[in-house]
Amino acid sequence: MIITTGEHNAPAAVERAAALAGKAGCRFVPRNRASMKRLTERYPGEDILVVLEGGARLHRPGEQPMAFHPSMSFVRAKRLFKGEKDTMLEAAGVRPGDTIIDCTAGLGSDSIMFSLGAGPEGKVIAMEDSLPLWALLCEGLAYYESGLQPFDEALRRIEPRHGHHLGLLEQMPDKSADVVYFDPMFRDPVLESSSISPLRAFANNSCLEEAAIFEACRVARRTVILKEKISSGEFERLGFRVPGRVRSKITYGVITL
């Protein structure tokens, strides 16, 4: 992957792009007004992350460009601000001040909701295995502006970490988080949407490992949550309980510790 800026090379964007490239272990390439077509010809087969004023945009040859966007989390957040409940936060039993680990962050839609639920005193760690998605997530969380201050503050509080969740969980101390969450659903081709489909090109398509659930139960103080299709068999395979009556095809399984 290479990291560059928009065509005008604003000094602040250049500084951000160079810093992100250093953190990601990638090459920073000055744009110098080159077109995207010219960059893709110059760096064939490379993912290109373009740092922009309000976040970033990710290009992969043969795929639709993808910009950071909070997607449905913005709609869910506005409902939360009106006093409505959020099904995920209720299933996880999130409380203000909680430390929450989102093991399959993608572009952070659920991480954002967890950050809102945990509040200013809480902490959300967003783990993402894909380096391009992690880099896009880093820039989006730090620089995206929705125009709704409490929402943007929730984005800024999230800590994105690059790596596979199993390895990252193994490095964490016992009982160091309140809630650990898994949502591998964007990898499922049944769930097509304009926000999910572009992620699929970057996704890790592996099933959740039993070892990851074991580590999650070791790290969590209170709850481990899995979002899945009720008919998938994953809740039974991995030891999750589905509380209450299920009225939708997709629901949350719970391990209470």
Half-sphere exposure of 194 (CA within 13 A, CB side): 6
**Per-residue confidence (pLDDT) for residue 168, from 0 to 100:** 98
What is the CATH T-level fold of the domain 72-256, as seen in this structure?
A: Rossmann fold (3.40.50)
**Per-residue confidence (pLDDT) for residue 190, from 0 to 100:** 46
The answer to whether 57 and 66 have CB atoms below 8 angstroms apart is yes
Half-sphere exposure of 11 (CA within 13 A, CB side): 0
Q: Where does residue 152 rank: exposed (0-12), middle (13-18), buried (19+ CB within 10 A)?
A: middle
**Per-residue confidence (pLDDT) for residue 234, from 0 to 100:** 92
Give Dmax over CA atoms of the chain in angstroms.
Answer: 58
Distance CA 84, CA 125 (A): 25
Distance CA 47, CA 171 (A): 29
**Residue 162, phi then psi, degrees to nearest 5:** -90, 130
The answer to whether 65 and 19 have CB atoms below 8 angstroms apart is no
Q: What is the pTM of this model?
A: 0.92
Q: Where does residue 37 rank: exposed (0-12), middle (13-18), buried (19+ CB within 10 A)?
A: exposed
The answer to whether 51 and 18 have CB atoms below 8 angstroms apart is no
The answer to whether 69 and 77 have CB atoms below 8 angstroms apart is no
221-250 per-position pLDDT tens digit: 999 999 998 888 999 999 999 987 777 888
194-211 per-position pLDDT tens digit: 445 566 667 666 789 999
Residue 77: count of CB within 10 angstroms of its CB: 21
**Per-residue confidence (pLDDT) for residue 57, from 0 to 100:** 94
**Per-residue confidence (pLDDT) for residue 199, from 0 to 100:** 65
**Per-residue confidence (pLDDT) for residue 189, from 0 to 100:** 46
Q: What CA–CA distances, in Å, run from 67 to 110, 185, 244? A: 17, 20, 37
**Per-residue confidence (pLDDT) for residue 191, from 0 to 100:** 46
The token duo for 218 is: 């070791």
**Per-residue confidence (pLDDT) for residue 232, from 0 to 100:** 86
**Per-residue confidence (pLDDT) for residue 216, from 0 to 100:** 98
Instruction: Return per-residue pLDDT of the chain as tens, 257 residues.
Output: 999 998 877 889 999 999 999 999 999 999 988 999 999 999 999 999 999 988 899 999 888 899 999 989 999 999 999 999 999 999 999 999 999 999 999 999 999 999 999 999 999 999 999 999 999 999 999 999 999 999 999 999 999 999 999 999 999 999 999 999 999 865 454 444 444 556 666 766 678 999 999 999 999 999 999 999 888 899 999 999 998 777 788 899 999 99
Phi-psi region of 133 (alpha: psi -120 to 50; beta: other; left: phi over 0): alpha
**Per-residue confidence (pLDDT) for residue 209, from 0 to 100:** 94
